[in-house]
Copies of this chain bind each other. A is one copy, B any other.
Amino acid sequence: MTSKTKANRGPSAGPENRRALLAAAREVFATEGFSAPLSAIARRAGVGQGSLYRHFPDRTTLAIAIFDENLADLEAFVDRPESTLDGLLDRVIEQALASTALIDLVSANPHDPHTAHLAERLDAVVSRLLTREQAAGRLGEHVTPPDVILAVSMLAGVLARSDPADRPDVARRAWALFHAAFAPG
Contact = CB atoms under 8 A, between A and B. Distances in A.
B158 A154 contact: yes
A174 B174 CA distance: 13
Contact of A110 (B103, B163, B174, B180): B163
Contacts of A137: none
Contacts of A157: 154, 157-158, 161
B161 A103 contact: yes
Interface residues of A, number: 29
Contacts of A51: none
A153 interface: yes
Interface stretch (A57-65, A128-136, A144-152): A144-152
Interface in A109-127: 110
Interface in A134-185: 146-147, 150-151, 153-155, 157-158, 161-163, 166, 170, 173-174, 177-182
A8 interface: no
Interface of A: 35, 100, 103-104, 107-108, 110, 146-147, 150-151, 153-155, 157-158, 161-163, 166, 170, 173-174, 177-182
